[in-house]
Amino acid sequence: NNGPFAGQEGEFVTSRHIRDRLFKELERNVSLRVKETASPDSFEVCGRGELHLSVLIEEMRREGYELLVSRPKVIYKEIDGVKCEPIEDLVVNVPDDAIGTVIEKLGRRKAEMKNMEPAEAGHTKIEFKIPARGLIGYRTEFLTDTKGTGTMNSIFDCYEPYKGDIQART
């Protein structure tokens, strides 16, 4: 850990402690993968999504592990020589006054609208196909845009050819 708070919190601070804990987690968490990297003090941890990884990180912090975590990344596949990325089916239920904002922001994240229909009073249900990387970090923004009244659910659909760069937040 070379972060600004290194050594200030945590009982387990060495990469050996973290490595042992991650590999012990593999015994009970079948959807987790851990790879050692070229650097002895870093690991690549693959899971089922942001929530899965954030639960593991929070568990480790509560157990006294001190660690520095990078931004999550999606795992690409090469299919018939073409770089492909995971695509999710996304269903949002938003208040009518937030429809434009949500569609615009998801559009910037390479989402394609599949369907839109009225839901309960004052809300609209919208279905999208979106690259999984387009959802990373979006949930908080979505809750702000819908004033906490929107719901958002996604599930893996398939792999499709890479959709191009997504502009980073400024």
Task: Give 53-65 as a DSSP string.
Answer: HHHHHHHHHHTTB
Percent of the chain with pLDDT over 70: 91
Topology agreement, domain 1-71 and domain 78-161 = yes
* Band of pLDDT at residue 125, cut at 50, 70 and 90: very high
141 closest CA partner among 112, 113, 169? 169
Q: State residue 11's pLDDT score.
A: 65
Query: Rounded to two decimals, what is the model's pTM?
Result: 0.74
Instruction: Round to whole Å and give the CA distance between 87 and 158.
Output: 5
**Tokens linked to 148:** 């906490």
20 closest CA partner among 43, 46, 37, 1? 43
Instruction: Round to whole Å and give the CA distance between 158 and 170.
Output: 30
Q: Specify the CATH class of 78-161 in words.
A: alpha beta
Percent of the chain with pLDDT over 90: 55
Domain borders along the chain are 1-71, 78-161
Task: State yes or no: pLDDT of 93 exceeds 50.
Answer: yes
Instruction: Round to whole Å and give the CA distance between 81 and 128.
Output: 27
With H, G, I as helix, E, B as strand and everything else as coil, classify residue 5: coil
**Tokens linked to 136:** 């990373």
Task: State yes or no: pLDDT of 170 exceeds 50.
Answer: no
Task: State yes or no: pLDDT of 36 exceeds 80.
Answer: yes
Q: Select the CATH number that applies to the domain covering 1-71 from these four: 3.40.718.10, 3.30.70.870, 3.40.640.10, 3.90.870.30.
A: 3.30.70.870
Q: What does pLDDT average to over the chain?
A: 87
| Phi and psi torsions of 112, nearest 5° | -120, 125
161 closest CA partner among 96, 109, 102, 86? 86
